[in-house]
Amino acid sequence: MARWRGLTWPRLPAVAELAIIGAGYAGYALVRLAIRAGRPAAFAHAAELWQAERRLHLTVEPFLNHLTAAHLMLADAAGYYYGLLHFLVTPLVLAWLYLYRRTVFPQLRSALMLATAIANVVFWAWPVAPPRFSVPGMTDILAAHDILGAANPHGAASLVNLYAAMPSLHVAWAAWCAAAIGTATRHRWRHLAWLYPVATTLVVLASANHFLLDAVGGIAVTGLGMLAAGRRHPITLPRVLLSRHRPVQPRPAGELWIAVNGLSAAATVGLYALARRSAGAAASARSPAPAMAGGRVGAGS
């Protein structure tokens, strides 16, 4: 008989699993409606994030956004990546786990749902406007190129939460996909799956949909979901590093949390170096980075 471990529930019939996913999306939709009334707070919180990144010299978003906006192929690639892969890859990984990796599916599915629930709480309690609204000079890549009807106020853009930048669910779900593949397989190339969240982080920054700290927040909620859904037993680093010589078996959530933290550190260091290099001339002249005028948006929603 299936037993609960931590906050993990057993594998259910396909209809029940789909109902859970539908309920999760309904919760997100309700939060989206609630945040509409919090527009001033969303821009105030965006100003706080932007100021924090300026103090840390992590303002990589304008450099990536201007680089992408200046090249049509980059802009189109980033726009379609942002608008499509998020909703295609995650369900495909879930379906693959459900059909072919039944032993690890309950834990990984539970981790995804818990991470999404944590993100919804943050969306409701601390709404944040994305850089495309709150940082002057940023180009809304999807709207500028009318990707997937984003330029239409009654099109696909009207179905998303405009003030739910923190944490980035795009990054959170991408990190979950990589962790799920690394857990459910023992293939020698499984670690290449981590290129997906790295690429997703670059895309959400370049498209002006998220701050760098939003991406860090997305990785954090994924780690919290993994911890909440995982088995509770000690994990040591040497055991993880030497696991390639062990028999093929799923890796527990404790090792996933180490992997997620490793990705977070690597991505943050890499983006930090890119930001410092792109802002080198400005830093040497001690010219301040562009700030929000009074913490308000340069263009309306």
* CA atoms of 78 and 93, how far apart (whole Å): 21
- Looking at the DSSP bridge assignments, the partners of residue 8 are 5
The DSSP 8-state label assigned to residue 160 in this structure reads S
More confident residue, 1 or 182: 182
Q: What percent of the chain has pLDDT over 70?
A: 68
The pLDDT, as a whole number, for residue 178 is 95
More confident residue, 149 or 87: 87
* CA atoms of 204 and 172, how far apart (whole Å): 12
Reported as a pLDDT band with limits 50, 70 and 90, residue 151 is: low
* Start-end of H helices in 101-130: 105-125
Encode burial over 197-235: b for 16+ CB neighbours within 10 A, e otherwise: bbebbbbbbbbbbbbbbbbbbbbbbbbbbbbbbbeeeeb
Closest CA to 66 of 146, 131, 157: 131
pLDDT average, residue stretch 245-259: 43
Nearest-10 Cα torsion for 46, 222, 261, 3:
160
Query: What residues does each domain of the chain span?
Result: 14-295
Residue 64, pLDDT > 50, answer yes
CA 170 to chain centre: 4
More confident residue, 220 or 229: 220
Reported as a pLDDT band with limits 50, 70 and 90, residue 301 is: very low
Phi, psi angle pair for 134, to nearest 5°: -105, -10
**Could you give the C-alpha distances from 223 to 38, 54, 86, in angstroms and in order?**
28, 26, 18
More confident residue, 148 or 161: 148
